[in-house]
Amino acid sequence: MTEQATPPASRFQARAIATLWRTLSRWPVRWLWRIAALVGPQVYRFSKRERKVTEINLKVVYPDAPASQRQSLAKQSLQHSTATMLELGHAWMAPPKKVETSVLAVHGREKLDNARAEGRGVIVLAPHFGNWEVLNFWLSSHFPFTAMYEPPKIADLEPIIRHGRERMGAKLVPT
């Protein structure tokens, strides 16, 4: 089987996204959250697919909640998802000391330290809640770390994402 060439539109899209991430990696995280506060409601309004998936999930989790409450939660969720997407450049491209300041608290580190001291591995099951890329950064900068991931749909983003995730020593395993 021969490998197909990447379409020019995908290459352009990958370059544009990478440039945006590099630019945003230089900005304070609080600015990114302010942008997300402005953009998040627009994501809810115009991204029908994301809105529908979020609303379906909330209906499963909160079947008895009033529709207005689920709608409010959906808007908040998409605002937080927008912030996480804007923070990707920070997690992957900002200087390590700057990323480390994003970690405000670590709960249960002693469990990881104890397991390592005893020569045992640990499986960390973490939902995509908050910026999981900062969690990956922190884990790989303090412990031997292997993470499973789904390769991006835009193949030209793969080396950029891998470099960002592996720069502190993480080993990645595609699913």
3-class DSSP string for the chain: CCCCCCCHHHHHHHHHHHHHHHHHCCCCHHHHHHHHHHHHHHHHHHCHHHHHHHHHHHHHHCCCCCHHHHHHHHHHHHHHHHHHHHHHHHHHHCCHHHHHCCCCCCCCHHHHHHHHHCCCCCCCCCCCCCCHHHHHHHHHHHCCCEEEECCCCCHHHHHHHHHHHHCCCCEEEEC
Give pLDDT, residue 27.
96
**The pTM of the whole model exceeds 0.85:** no
Which pLDDT belongs to residue 3?
A: 56
**Mean pLDDT, consecutive 10-residue segments, the chain of 175 residues?**
67 94 95 96 95 97 97 95 94 95 91 96 84 92 94 93 95 95
Give residue 4's pLDDT: 59
What pLDDT sits at residue 96? 95
The predicted pLDDT at position 127 comes to 77
pLDDT value, residue 173:
96
List the chain domain ranges. Answer: 8-174
**What is the pLDDT, as a whole number, of residue 128?**
73
